Structure formats: C-alpha cells, structure tokens
Amino acid sequence: MSDLHHDHLYIGGNWVAPATDGRISVISPMTEQELGSTPEGAPADIDAAVTAARGALDGDWGRSTAAERADVIDRLYALFLERSDDLANLITAEVGSPLLFSHFGQVGATGMALDYFAKLTRSFAFEEVRDGMMGPALVRHEPVGVCAGIVPWNVPLFISMLKLAPALASGSTIVLKPAPETPLSANALAQMCIDAGVPDGVVNIVPAGRETGQHLVTHPDVDKVSFTGSTAAGRKIGAACGELLRRCTLELGGKSAAIICDDADLDAIMPELIAASTMNNGQACVAQTRILATRSRYDEVVEALTEAVAAIPVGDPANMETGCGPLIAERQRERVEGYIQAGRDEGARVTTGGGRPEGLDRGWFVEPTVFADVDNSMRIA
C-alpha cells in the first residue's frame, strides 16, 4: 500500500485543501497503531461539495445520455477489477475484515453493484409512452438531483456503491460522507473516480463525523438523503427529512434469525450458517445473530453450532485462512464484551468463546461466542 496519510479532500473532481486543520486518524484494528490519516471534513467542506454537485447537475452531466453515464460506470468498474487486490488489502488493514471476505464481500460485491447498474442504465426505459385517461402520456424519469450518501464503516466500499452507482445511473450527483473509521478506502474510491474520468463535481467525498453529517442532511441544496447505519441515527435523519419534505432512504439495524426445522441436514447447513453468522467478524447488519431450533433437536443444534464456531480460525485478517479477525475499534470490543457479560448475568450459558483469544495480546479481538438457553427477555436476544 502507498502512503496512507492524505492532506486533501475530493471535491469538484479535484483534490482540494480542507477548510480546517482537523484530522481523522485511522487506527489499525490489528496492531492498534496508526495506519493512516485524512482531513476531517467540516460544514464548509460540505458546502463546497454540494455546490460542486449542483454545478455538475446543472451542467453537462444533468443533460447526459444513458449511454454516456453507462460508459462512466463501466470505466469505474474496470478499475475496480484492475485494483481489486490492492483494495482488498486496504479494507483488511482498515476494517480488520478477513482477507477472503474483503475479496468477495467487500470489493467483489462492490464490483458486482457497478456492473449491475452499468447494464441497467443501458436497458432502462428512461422515457416511455403510457396510456392515459385522455390519451397517451410521456413518462420521463429524471435525476432526483443532488444526493447525500452517509456510509457506515463495516462494508464501506460496497455500501458507498449502493448509493453512488444508482446516482450515476440516474444522472444525479452525490456527496458521500464515509465514516471516520474508514476514510482511507473512501479516498481510494475518489482516486478511481478521477482515473475513470467521472466528470468534475458528479462525485464528492468528505470524510467527517456526526455533526458534519447532520449539516449535509439538512443542507438546503440537497434533494435526497440515503443513510445506512443505526436505528437511533436513522430516526433523527428521517425526522429531519420529513420536516424538510426531502426524500430519504434509510437502511437501519436488524436482528436476523435463522430457524432450523426438524428435517434440516445439520452437516449441510452448518457451513452456510457459520458464514452468515460470522461474516466480517460478525459486524454486518445481515449477520445471523439468533439461531432458533425446535425443542426436539435443540441439544443437537447447540452441539453442532458450538463445534463449528469453536473451530473458526481467529487471528491476523491478512491471512487467507483466518475466519475471524479483530473488531473495528476498542469501543466496539468493549460493547461486545458488555453484551457477553449481560448474557451471563441474565442466565444464558456460554458453550464456546466468551473471552479474548489466547496469544493475541494486540488487536481488538473477541472469541467467536455461542450462548445457549437464551429466552427473549434477555438483552442479548
């Protein structure tokens, strides 16, 4: 990886000086040492980014054809394929994702989103004639305008692309605010936008914290907000957008359950269940966090699940054999350990894990953990 200390923000198609001297320091989840740093965006930087996005929308990009936009997306997709190894290594260093997951769940999924929207842009009927009550009607799909995309740290490139790619496809422009934990991969994305020839101002990326994000959400020249993150933050963003009559999309927290029926083949389903439960070190909104089994097979399911989880290789995420790496930050480890203690305090039974792995004195590791004898009154449920 090249030097990961950045001094500029990607606004208006160029690397520009930030409005303040605030910095974001990125700490490696594996070494607990500084990995890199970027400027911390301020409200003035958001203002500049939104102005650039509005200028591009009112200029040539707002009048672009679907084929022209698809060409831009295809060029960005080609760069993702070309740089996939470097991107996967960067995500592993920045997030702590096991390298295998970084290749498939982080970078590979991002490329799939780009490829999908490039094809959709070429095939979608942006104009069509429909029968109306008083004769034919022309229905035209136009850009929504300047979009704000607020991205979490767990799958930063993929979730960025779920906001950026449809904005490009529609002819909209976007200001992305990556999480302060993952600005390095966001800057790699910015450089790819430059190298792919994304027109100036169409994509702008401003890493920042919560207060600057709130400024973006309520900015008077933003037309649409897309947020992925916690339910608590989503409520506030939804309320702000409702007050402003501003379109918004919210992808918030969940509590995903698997139901194991009496006729399930445990040997067949267990590998898939483990993959779904522990992907990205368990830091995924779709992670299988609850396993529900019938009473007649409960002990059998607990035994099989315990054996499979206990066998997960824990360690350096840069090793392709690692199944579980460190959590993203020290505060996240403290949060997880708090849940483990709450489970114990309320009477649930730890069948494997529950502590910090031996021999890993550095890095924010927690053992993959299984609780049995849990009921729905418990906090961990």
Cα–Cα distance between 228 and 252 in angstroms, integer? 6
* Residue 149 confidence (pLDDT) above 80: yes
The CATH class, in words, for 9-251 is alpha beta
> Is 193 one of the catalytic residues?
no
Cβ atoms of residues 26 and 94 within 8 Å: yes
Residue 1 has a pLDDT of 62
Average pLDDT over residues 258-282: 94
Which of the residues 251, 300, 337, 346 is marked catalytic?
251
**Predicted confidence (pLDDT) per residue in 71-114, tens digit:** 999 999 999 999 999 999 999 999 999 999 999 999 999 999 99
Task: Please give the model's pTM, rounded to 2 decimal places.
Answer: 0.94
Q: In whole numbers, what is the pLDDT of the chain averaged over residues?
A: 96
Average pLDDT over residues 189-197: 98
Residue 285 has a pLDDT of 86
The CATH class, in words, for 256-372 is alpha beta
**Predicted confidence (pLDDT) per residue in 207-228, tens digit:** 999 999 999 999 999 999 999 9
Q: CB-based burial of residue 37 (10 Å sphere; 0-12 exposed, 13-18 middle, 19+ buried)? A: middle
**Predicted confidence (pLDDT) per residue in 332-379, tens digit:** 999 999 999 999 999 999 999 999 999 999 999 999 999 999 999 999
* Residue 304 confidence (pLDDT) above 80: yes
Residues ≥6 apart with Cβ < 8 Å to 114: 73, 76, 77, 80, 161, 165
Average pLDDT over residues 315-343: 97
Residue 219 has a pLDDT of 98
Which of the residues 241, 285, 324, 367 is marked catalytic?
285
Report the share of the chain in percent with pLDDT over 90: 97
Confidence band for 248, pLDDT divided at 50, 70 and 90? very high
The Cα-based distances of 98 to 18, 85, 106, 312, 366 in angstroms read 33, 13, 10, 12, 14
Comma-separated ranges of CATH 3.40.309.10 domains in the chain: 256-372
Confidence band for 2, pLDDT divided at 50, 70 and 90? low
> Is 285 one of the catalytic residues?
yes
Tokens of 88: 């996967």
The Cα-based distances of 203 to 54, 93, 97, 328 in angstroms read 11, 25, 26, 27
Comma-separated ranges of CATH 3.40.605.10 domains in the chain: 9-251
